[in-house]
Structure 1
Amino acid sequence: MGSLLIRNARLVNEGRQFGADVLVSHGRIVKIASSIFGENAVQEIDADGQWLLPGMIDDQVHFREPGSPAKGSIHSESRAAVAGGITSFMDMPNTSPATLTLEALADKKRRAAIGSVANYGFHFGVSQHNLDTVAALNPCEVAGVKVFMGASTGNLLVDDPRILERLFAEVPTILLAHCEHTPSIEANAARLRERYGEHLPPDAHALIRDAETCYRSSSLAVDLARRHGTRLHVLHLTTARELELFEDKPLPHKRISAEVCLHHLLFDDRDYPTLGNRIKCNPAIKSRTDRDALRQALLSNRLDVIGSDHAPHTWTEKERPYDQAPAGLPLVQHALPALLELVADGVLPITTLVAKTSHRVADLFAIPDRGYLREGYWADLVLIRPEPEGVAVSRQPVLSQCGWTPFADRRFRHRVSLTVVSGQVAWDGQRVNEGCQGLPLRFMR
């Protein structure tokens, strides 16, 4: 890892913006100062006043390796991620085979060590038959433990009350929950089919997976966590009502935290007529009122982190009729540019965005030496160039293996001009450095 000197940047870090130079050597930030001279860096970049942020740490992606690498391999999706300002990701267990054994976990780590351009970590899955393995996990070996309390199929669905009680009581590390109430989903779908017939329109998705469906499950998860003292992280909140379940406290002072995903901040149910199945996801994108409540909650401590929930499916799959189209959106390539629209519109301060995409994620998952711009920390860096006239997303090649994006018709007023992963230039604003190799994330618990 050669040395790198970034001059004339505007750093955004720990609630402040300030001008500085940053020197990187052997993968880490070795100096931050107003001016750095006398250093013979191998590479020098003039930031010309661009924002320099700690890279986004995405706590939730669904890469498709092993199982369906044609949809999105670790290599292809990590390439897209660094183009979108994501320097580290944590992958979910619903691959094929699912990450339900130590052998499957080791296989994913091996694959990432060969092919990932970004830093990587992996969540461990829960089934009705692997609770002994989950209870015996080394907390430092996994990013977290993921439970699908509803809205999943096969051996990843865990909705038996007895198994949930044991899981919440015995899980040895942070427990991540996907919360939707399956019986409510099924009842809503049956009612809508009586109204529309078998050919439901895409906008029925928000009615089938409605606010009550989410609240019934997320409130159960919170109740279980409070009774058992579980360190719980509820994923992808979508409703205003669910926000009441979470305390407005700094992260170190609570054991129950919550995530919001970028598509639930940027789309609402008025987008279904235009985008249809392209924004079909679980839990569903809901009303503008819900969207606005989520945005407002980011200004407090009710919502702790922002993730992507990146889930690549092929265009052909998404163009099927509603009932047959899979749920999920490819999002990593446009993660930070899309979120920076909230900054451009005055919805979020840039310092808040950095806290929710970097600082708090590192804190939540106990990732040492990442998520901040600090001397001695790994150099996971992103330069952001303003584009006042906007850059058409359609003019940029899609790097995700699936080849499409829900943002194709949008223009973004910022772009990622540089991504540095563990001291290596991973993205130069035009292309991915294929020689960049991400490192495994450490979890110090």
Structure 2
Amino acid sequence: MPATVIVNARLVNEGRVTEGDLRIENGRIARIAAEIRPQGDDTVIDAAGRWLLPGMIDDQVHFREPGMPHKGDMATESAAAVAGGLTTFMDMPNTSPPTLDAAALEDKYQRAKGRAWGNYGFYLGASNDNLEAIRTLDPKTAPGIKVFMGASTGNMLVDNPDTLDAIFREAPTPIITHCEDTPTIDANLAAFQAKYGDALSAEHHPDIRSREACIKSTRLAMSLARRHGTRLHVLHISTADELALFTPGPLVQPDGKCKQITAETCIHFLRFDRADYAALGNLIKCNPAIKDAGDREALIKALVDDVVDVLATDHAPHTLEEKEKPYVQAPSGLPLVQYALVAALELVHEGRMDVARVVQKFAHAPAQLFDVKERGYLREGYFADLVLIDDEPFTVKREDVLSKVGWSPFEGRTFRSRIGATWVNGRMVWNGQHLVGTPNGQRLEFAR
């Protein structure tokens, strides 16, 4: 593969923005310097002062394979991801069948091989009866163990206190949790159904999937982690109330280790709030629920203040037909990977966050937290997973959506940046207009 030299870039990496050039050889970043002279048959790309970022690492997606091909699969959803500048994804275990043992985990890796446009890792799921699979998990085969401490599908709600305690005690990798208290949610739903009957709608969702349900479950997970010294990563924080539970400060501590307990939030909690249910309804129904404008503002500040460590998508596609069902029957989740990075960059344009902070939360932090080997940074010798940003506005249109479900909650919104190009393992896979070449994502390696 001929070498590529990207010249005149503004390289965003490790808290700094510097002007310079970057050379790609054999799938990796061969050199970064103030000036690199191209050689022979090198491909030369003039960045013309545009931002060049490390590819984004999304630590929470649901690509729906195996078992739900009408919603998405490894190929379709990873295509949408690289079009959005997301070069690495970590996929959730609540598939059909769920990923509850080493064989199911390996099956997903084989499904992704040769079909995924981005690099991939898969979580092992926890249930009330797979403790032995958790105990014997090879930590180099999965980013972590996913525990649903709130409502989930199938056999993946872990509600046995002894099992929960054992999982936190035995886990050989970080534990990641979905924290919502199911009894609280069930009681809220029954009360709202009794009051509103058929008039129940998505506008009630943040009160049914309430902040009390979130904070109660988050407290439980944190108490278990502290009891056993477990590395815990709490997913999709949606409330201001939970933020007080987390310790502010850089993800990597002075001793070189990550904080024991970390937090993630998602792009939809930063771009939508309760007022948006009136227009979007079930299209923004997700678990945990999008809540109030005050929560949105607190979460943005928490990212800036290093209270929240990671920014992700929780990409979870459902068809429009499914979303058009009555509130109680409509599934929760929304497709997000294609526009998540440009949505985050809106915070930069608004003066709420600098671009280096976006890169820290969306690339460096997940690489650090999950021990991802040689990705997530602009460093010589690392894999060339890169994103070039065009500061050129565009409006999201349904016909441009690559996710299999063919819609986006951002339709009609104008963003001030677009993805100009994406490279995965040194190959351009998105040229700003369409996919290029064939999928070349690789299985993630974990430096453990």
Task: Give the shorter-chain TM-score range.
Answer: over 0.9
Residue 52 of structure 1 and its aligned partner are, at CA, apart by 0.2
Correspondence for 2:306: 301
When residues 65 and 434 of structure 1 are mapped into structure 2, their CA distance, relative to the original with a 3 A threshold, is: farther
Aligned partners of 2:53, 2:149: CA distance in 1, in Å?
A: 35
Aligned partners of 1:46, 1:38: CA distance in 2, in Å?
A: 11
1:442 aligns with 2:435: no
Asked if the contact 1:424–1:436 (Cα under 8 Å) also holds between the matched residues in 2, the reply is no
When residues 282 and 9 of structure 1 are mapped into structure 2, their CA distance, relative to the original with a 3 A threshold, is: same
Residue 281 of structure 1 aligns to a residue whose secondary structure is coil
Asked if the contact 1:418–1:427 (Cα under 8 Å) also holds between the matched residues in 2, the reply is yes
Equivalent position to 1:400, from 376, 399, 403: 403
Correspondence for 1:420: 423
| Paired AA for residue 54 in structure 1 | P
1:379 aligns with 2:384: yes
Aligned partners of 1:242, 1:370: CA distance in 2, in Å?
A: 30
Aligned partners of 1:86, 1:138: CA distance in 2, in Å?
A: 26
Residue 333 of structure 1 aligns to a residue whose secondary structure is coil
Identity %: 54
Correspondence for 1:122: 122
Aligned partners of 2:44, 2:293: CA distance in 1, in Å?
A: 45
Correspondence for 2:37: 37
Equivalent position to 1:361, from 359, 366, 377: 366
Residue 114 of structure 1 aligns to a residue whose secondary structure is coil
Asked if the contact 2:118–2:441 (Cα under 8 Å) also holds between the matched residues in 1, the reply is yes
Residue 324 of structure 1 aligns to a residue whose secondary structure is coil
Residue 241 of structure 1 and its aligned partner are, at CA, apart by 0.8
Residue 66 of structure 2 aligns to a residue whose secondary structure is coil
Residue deviations 1:328-350 (CA, integer Å, cap 9, x gap): 00000111111111111111111
Residue 38 of structure 1 and its aligned partner are, at CA, apart by 4.4
Correspondence for 1:340: 345
Aligned partners of 1:40, 1:29: CA distance in 2, in Å?
A: 18
Correspondence for 2:175: 175
Equivalent position to 1:280, from 276, 285, 294: 285
Asked if the contact 1:199–1:321 (Cα under 8 Å) also holds between the matched residues in 2, the reply is no
Asked if the contact 1:117–1:434 (Cα under 8 Å) also holds between the matched residues in 2, the reply is no
Instruction: List structure 1 runs of 4+ shifted beyond 6 angstroms.
Output: none
| Paired AA for residue 396 in structure 2 | V
When residues 295 and 41 of structure 1 are mapped into structure 2, their CA distance, relative to the original with a 3 A threshold, is: farther
Q: Which runs of 5+ in 2 are unaligned?
A: 254-258
Residue 195 of structure 1 and its aligned partner are, at CA, apart by 1.5
Asked if the contact 1:74–1:115 (Cα under 8 Å) also holds between the matched residues in 2, the reply is yes
Aligned partners of 1:120, 1:366: CA distance in 2, in Å?
A: 14
Asked if the contact 1:425–1:436 (Cα under 8 Å) also holds between the matched residues in 2, the reply is no
Residue deviations 1:235-257 (CA, integer Å, cap 9, x gap): 00000110111101222332000
Residue deviations 1:369-391 (CA, integer Å, cap 9, x gap): 1111011111010000102xx31
Residue 12 of structure 1 and its aligned partner are, at CA, apart by 0.7
Correspondence for 2:149: 149
Correspondence for 2:193: 193
Aligned partners of 1:249, 1:205: CA distance in 2, in Å?
A: 32
Residue 400 of structure 2 aligns to a residue whose secondary structure is coil
| Paired AA for residue 383 in structure 1 | L
Residue 114 of structure 1 and its aligned partner are, at CA, apart by 2.3
Asked if the contact 1:199–1:323 (Cα under 8 Å) also holds between the matched residues in 2, the reply is no
| Paired AA for residue 295 in structure 1 | I
* Counterpart mapping for 1:311-326 below 5 A: 311-326=316-331
Aligned partners of 1:115, 1:26: CA distance in 2, in Å?
A: 20
Aligned partners of 2:355, 2:408: CA distance in 1, in Å?
A: 24
| Paired AA for residue 165 in structure 1 | D
TM-score (norm 1): 0.98
Correspondence for 1:86: 86
Residue 288 of structure 2 aligns to a residue whose secondary structure is coil
Residue 132 of structure 1 aligns to a residue whose secondary structure is helix
Residue 90 of structure 1 and its aligned partner are, at CA, apart by 0.3
| Paired AA for residue 341 in structure 2 | L
Correspondence for 1:49: 49
Aligned partners of 1:103, 1:198: CA distance in 2, in Å?
A: 44
When residues 41 and 56 of structure 1 are mapped into structure 2, their CA distance, relative to the original with a 3 A threshold, is: farther
| Paired AA for residue 145 in structure 1 | I
* Counterpart mapping for 1:203-222 below 5 A: 203-222=203-222
Residue 394 of structure 1 and its aligned partner are, at CA, apart by 1.4
Residue 436 of structure 1 and its aligned partner are, at CA, apart by 3.4
When residues 38 and 211 of structure 1 are mapped into structure 2, their CA distance, relative to the original with a 3 A threshold, is: closer
Aligned partners of 1:116, 1:320: CA distance in 2, in Å?
A: 31
CA RMSD of aligned residues (A): 1.0
Asked if the contact 2:267–2:312 (Cα under 8 Å) also holds between the matched residues in 1, the reply is yes
Aligned partners of 1:235, 1:442: CA distance in 2, in Å?
A: 22
Correspondence for 1:391: 394
Residue deviations 1:257-316 (CA, integer Å, cap 9, x gap): 010000011100000000000000000000001110000000122111101000010011
1:261 aligns with 2:266: yes
| Paired AA for residue 260 in structure 2 | R
Residue 194 of structure 1 and its aligned partner are, at CA, apart by 1.9
| Paired AA for residue 259 in structure 1 | E
Residue 395 of structure 1 and its aligned partner are, at CA, apart by 7.0
Asked if the contact 2:394–2:417 (Cα under 8 Å) also holds between the matched residues in 1, the reply is yes
Q: Which runs of 5+ in 1 are unaligned?
A: none
